Amino acid sequence: MKKCTLLIIACLLAAISFAQTGTGTASTSTRSSNPSIEVAAIPDQTFTGSAITPEPVIKFGSLTLKKDTDYTLSYSNNINVGTATLTITGKGNYSDTKTVNFKIVPMSFGGKGSGAAVPKSTTGTTTPAN
């Protein structure tokens, strides 16, 4: 029993040493319970008729996090012109959740009377510009 306990302690100390040196791919951050995820600004996105899914840089302090390893992204209201929502949910060593908004702006078609088709809806129907 004593040898087993010493072996477990040695393994824990090695793991802590590994995490502190930052060697390899192990995450060195501890589980967080306060909202400290930082999200890079999302520039205005142009309407396309399809779901818009920007992937901004996500940081925890000075550490840049990795999508699908350290966090997941989910979107809502991200097809039509207006305000869309991005939710970042920490996973693994990160438990924070942060919601940010971004804008979807109309397409620019060169002005009135240009003859360009202007999208009427996301169903694919278009109408000529006046």
Q: Give the model's confidence band at 37: pLDDT under 50 very low, under 70 low, under 90 confident, else very high.
A: confident
pLDDT tens-digit profile of 83-98? 999 999 999 988 889 9
Per the structure, the count of domains in the chain is 1
Residue 93 makes CB contacts below 8 A (sequence gap 6+) with: 27, 29, 30, 31, 70
What does the pLDDT read at residue 22? 37
Structural domain contains residue 56: yes
Q: Indicate the DSSP class of residue 47.
A: -
Domain that holds residue 62: 37-107
Structural domain contains residue 22: no
Write down the pTM of the prediction. 0.58
Structural domain contains residue 90: yes
Structural domain contains residue 43: yes
Tokens of 60: 């925890």
Structural domain contains residue 81: yes
Lowest-pLDDT choice from 24-28, 45-49, 72-76: 24-28
Structural domain contains residue 11: no
What does the pLDDT read at residue 118? 52
Residue 68 is part of a domain; what is its CATH number? Answer: 2.60.40
Structural domain contains residue 70: yes
Structural domain contains residue 129: no
